[in-house]
């Protein structure tokens, strides 16, 4: 897996893209249609430049790689939520998982397929809140990276259950996100997760196995993050969101 291209020019282009994208309709939240419009605009206006997609690093998250390093996967199923340009999904597949990856943006899916033309991954455009029925309770590992932190208001409230329902009995949910202390206000996007929000997975039939707090540095910025792993018991996940 190649390293993320964080040279000065890439950072400059990314900062410019952030400023531009923050002015687009739906950037600061809204309903499903508003946010869908914004996510589509991110990819459609990027014009092939990954620096113009704020979460696209052209490399899998190091914390995902570290977690996968000592996990033997022998064909278990995995779902990558909000897969973007495909790097995290490819890391899951390389670790031995039969991987399905989806994104709200059809442009993102086309881009991922073009980047990895020989990939065994089933890349698919789909909506977190209206997924294929066969995905419910179907995956041994569900990987959620940066999706919840991009949601606000009612969408965020509903996002936890929407994600948890993909986890099969006995399966795991791996969450990677920006984090903040309880009571912290954020203008967003993104809106970091606070501890009480992560705890919602307990009410959705999942038990926390591990948490790992760490920091990501972007120039002079120090950004708190968390990696948390949850496991479902043998009960079948509810289908309501």
Segment 15-55, tens digit of pLDDT: 887 777 777 655 666 677 777 787 888 888 888 888 888 88
Provide the domain count of the chain: 1
Question: Is 9 part of any domain?
Answer: no
**Residue 90: both structure tokens together:** 């490819």
pLDDT attached to residue 240: 42
pLDDT attached to residue 2: 45
pLDDT attached to residue 54: 80
Measured between alpha carbons, how far apart are the two ends of the chain, in Å?
36
CA dihedral 233, 61, 194, 158 (to 10 degrees): -60
pLDDT attached to residue 200: 96
For residue 164, give the nearest of 88, 85, 84, 238 by alpha carbon: 238
Question: Is 21 part of any domain?
Answer: no
CATH number of the domain to which 164 belongs = 3.40.50.150
Residues of the chain with pLDDT under 70: 1-6, 24-30, 235-241
CA atoms within 13 A on the CB side of 33: 0
pLDDT attached to residue 195: 96
The three-state (H, E, C) secondary structure of the chain, written as one string: CCCCCCCHHHHHHHHHHHHHHCCCCCCCCCCHHHHHHHHHHHHHHHCCCHHHCCCCCCCCCHHHHHHHCCCCCCCCEEEEECCCCCHHHHHHHHCCCEEEEEECCHHHHHHHHHHCCCCCCEEEECECCECCHHHCCCEEEEEEECCHHHCCCHHHHHHHHHHHCCEEEEEEEEEEEEECCCCCCCCCCCCCECHHHHHHHHHHCEEEEEEEEEEEEECCEEEEEEEEEEEECCCCCCCCC
pLDDT attached to residue 60: 96
pLDDT attached to residue 198: 95
CA distance 33 to 13: 27
Question: Is 24 part of any domain?
Answer: no
List of residues 6+ apart from 19 with CB closer than 8 A: none
CB count within 10 Å of CB 86 equals 27
Rg for the chain (alpha carbons), in Å?
17
Domain that holds residue 148: 61-232
User: Is residue 11 classed exposed, middle or buried when 0-12, 13-18 and 19+ CB atoms within 10 A define those classes?
Assistant: middle
Question: Is 4 part of any domain?
Answer: no
CA distance 97 to 62: 18
Question: Which residues sit opposite 206 in a β-bridge?
Answer: 232
Question: Is 19 part of any domain?
Answer: no
Question: Is 47 part of any domain?
Answer: no
């Amino acid at each position: 897996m190649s390293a993320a291209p964080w040279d000065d020019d890439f950072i400059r282009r990314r900062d410019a893209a952030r400023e531009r994208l923050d002015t687009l309709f739906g950037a600061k939240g809204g309903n499903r249609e508003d946010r869908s419009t914004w996510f589509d605009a991110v990819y459609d206006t990027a014009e092939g430049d990954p620096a113009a997609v704020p979460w696209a690093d052209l490399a899998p998250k190091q914390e995902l790689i570290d977690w996968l390093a000592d996990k033997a996967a022998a064909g278990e199923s995995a779902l990558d939520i909000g897969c973007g340009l495909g790097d995290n999904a490819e890391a899951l597949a390389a670790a031995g998982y039969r991987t399905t990856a989806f994104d709200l943006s059809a442009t993102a899916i086309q881009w991922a397929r073009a980047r990895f033309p020989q990939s065994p991954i089933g890349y698919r455009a789909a909506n977190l809140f209206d997924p294929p029925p066969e995905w419910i309770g179907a995956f041994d590992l569900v990987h959620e990276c940066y999706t919840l932190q991009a949601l606000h208001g009612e969408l965020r409230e509903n996002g936890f259950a929407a994600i948890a329902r993909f986890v099969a009995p006995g399966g795991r949910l791996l969450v990677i996100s920006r984090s903040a202390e309880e009571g912290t206000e954020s203008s967003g996007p993104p809106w970091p997760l606070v501890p009480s929000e992560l705890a919602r997975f307990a009410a959705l039939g999942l038990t926390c196995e591990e948490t790992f707090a760490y920091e990501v540095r972007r120039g002079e910025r120090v950004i708190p993050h968390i990696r948390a792993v949850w496991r479902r018991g043998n009960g079948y996940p509810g289908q309501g969101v």
